[in-house]
Amino acid sequence: MRLTQLTIRTFRNIAALDIELPAEGVVVIGENGEGKTNLLEAIYYLVLFRSLRGAKDRELVRFGDASFFIAGEGPRRVAVGYEIAGRRKKVTVDRVEMKKLADGVGRLTAVAFAPSDRTIVAGGPTGRRRYLDIVLALSEPGYLAALSAMRQALRQRNAALRNGHGDAARAFDAPFAAAAGTVARARRRWVAASAARFQDLCTTLGEAGTCSLLYAPDHHREDDTAGHIEAALRRTFARDTRRGMTTVGPHRDDLRLSLDGRDQRTYGSAGQQRTAAVALRLLEAESLAAAEGSPPVALYDDVFAELDRGRQERLLALIRETLPGQAVVVAPRESEVPRDLLGMPRWTMRGGTLDRP
Amino acid sequence: MAAIEDLIGELSKLPGIGRKTATRLTYFLLKQPPEAGRRLARALDAVATRVGPCSVCGNLGETDPCVICEDTRRDRSTVCVVEEASDIGAIERTGEYRGVYHVLGGHLSPLDGIGPDDLRLDGLRARLSNGSSVREVIVATNPSMEGEVTATYVRGIVEAQSVRVTRIALGLPVGGDLEYADNVTIARALAARREME
């Protein structure tokens, strides 16, 4: 996928930006705090309509302003505006307003590489579920709808449990289990289909050991049918009532990453975790490319500086192979951008504005 | 000034009306002849004093039982269960239904503090229990998750009384365009496809 034009208004420290993006991409150089990451965040906002960094929408509005607006022109024109006063978000695709935000999700696709990706590997299961959810929401039709339905049923069920309404809580078992089954099956399928490629990617990136990717569902066993999940809910009902929440289901799944049989989260070195994180992002890019028919836009937030020369070169070789599309690379100094990528047009960012030669 | 403020305050409690709109409506009324305001006040007063729920079905009206429950030409062996009294109007406008109704007064939504005890389910149970002439209950709650859950709940109650229970069909809107229908609707319409007659 290629993004040809980008318009940003009062987003983070960017007051106004109207740019045409070169087909191959661009390298943006700027000191910390000048707005490079904000530029990437704005582009990625067009994919999920949520902050890449987990920030609240109102925090994305430029200080002192009342709203922000971002539009990107690719195979389709996707635009999103947010207003603090009404907490209103409006998404349009080819200038038609989407009734639900979800209908606009994934019309433009991108994958963002950032140093903080290491927390996917090193942090808790929430980050890994979020990773799985994003990949599947963008590559698997129906996944996002099932995920939203599951979350809605879960909120209702938990509220009933908290209020001591066992009957009402049980009434939400069926819709929860139906949606949860779809979510769990999609996760299991994706992990099974991706495990071998994950090993490949890690090896190519210079990892000597055996890297495995394993779906660790909370409901155990190799059975993701709604019936099985409903039975699990019935079994844990007494515990759920005591705790006032649903203690079984895909909202508690994990994606287990291990190196030579040992959990990467606990035993991986910083370098090994970084390699696994980069491999996950490449896997994400490949899944999106397979679903879309063309590679997503690649956004690199200062990721090369962290890797040693050898890994840097191996990563570049992989990128050329799996992500041959458009790239936006941001870094504080040219010396931190691999020479190969410096062939792209180079812009500088200062105080939220771009200088183009 | 207190009278104006009062009216703005009252109007802004209405759904979909914020303070700004309430202010605009208030000043609009103030510009009209005084009789217009009095007519509105009388209409509100009449609704507040004369309209109430039907003790049989929960429909809103000026008589109890309501005009539908009183109508002897209606088929009392079929009861259509709806969430709100306003849903009755929607079904009545089709002219296709000759049975009677039962209004639940909402749907199950623990997040909003609405449990089974907050819906008119006891009333429904009573209508179906011994010696009842009801042969079929049509569940016409909304096709939302909460509406479906409520429908399942109602089904349990109806089946316990050995009465036939049916659910209104879900699918594509008539005169609609397949291309513009949302994914969930199309998926459900496909799942509920049937032989062509």
Q: Which domain holds residue A49?
A: 1-109+296-357
Residue A62: which CATH number? 3.40.50.300
Q: Using the beta-carbon criterion (under 8 Å), do A99 and B182 form an inter-chain contact?
A: yes
Residue A191 has pLDDT above 80, yes or no: yes
Is A173 inside any structural domain? no
Cβ–Cβ contact B110 with A under 8 A: yes
- CB of B44 within 8 Å of any CB in chain A? no
Using a CB-CB cut-off of 8 Å, the residues of chain A touching B150 are: 171
Q: Is residue A90 part of a domain?
A: yes
- What are the start-end ranges of the E strands in chain A? 5-11, 14-20, 25-29, 67-73, 77-83, 88-93, 96-97, 110-113, 211-216, 254-259, 262-263, 297-301, 327-331, 346-350, 353-355
- pLDDT, mean of residues A306-321: 85
- pLDDT tens track for B50-78: 999 999 999 999 999 999 999 999 999 99
Q: What is the DSSP string of chain B?
A: -HHHHHHHHHHTTSTT--HHHHHHHHHHHHHS-HHHHHHHHHHHHHHHHH-EE-TTT--EESSSS-HHHH-TTSEEEEEEEESSHHHHHHHHHHT---EEEEE-SS--BGGGTB-GGGSTHHHHHHHHSTT----EEEE---SSHHHHHHHHHHHHHHHHTT-EEEE----PPTT--GGGS-HHHHHHHHHT-----
Domain map of chain B by residue range? 2-50, 74-167
Please state which CATH number belongs to domain B74-167.
3.40.1360.10
Q: Could you confirm whether domain B2-50 is CATH 1.10.8.420?
A: yes
Q: How many domains does chain A have?
A: 1
pLDDT for residue B104 is more than 70: yes
How far away is chain A from the Cα of B116, in angstroms, using its nearest Cα? 7
CB contact under 8 A, B183 and A142: yes
Q: Is B108 on the interface with A (CB under 8 A)?
A: yes
Chain B contact for A156 (CB, 8 A cutoff): yes
Residue A18 above 90 pLDDT? yes
Say if residue A220's pLDDT is above 80: no
Residue pLDDT, tens place only, A99-140: 889 989 999 999 999 999 999 999 999 999 999 999 999 999
Q: Which of A99, A141, A149 sits opposite B145 (nearest CB)?
A: A149
Which residue from B minimizes the CA distance to A178? B145
In the prediction, which pLDDT does A221 show? 67
Put simply, the answer to whether B110 touches A99 (Cβ < 8 Å) is: no
**A175 to chain B, closest Cα gap in Å:** 7
- pLDDT tens, position by position, B130-177: 778 999 999 999 999 999 999 999 999 999 999 999 999 988 888 878
**A and B: number of Cβ contacts within 8 A:** 51
pLDDT at B41 over 70: yes
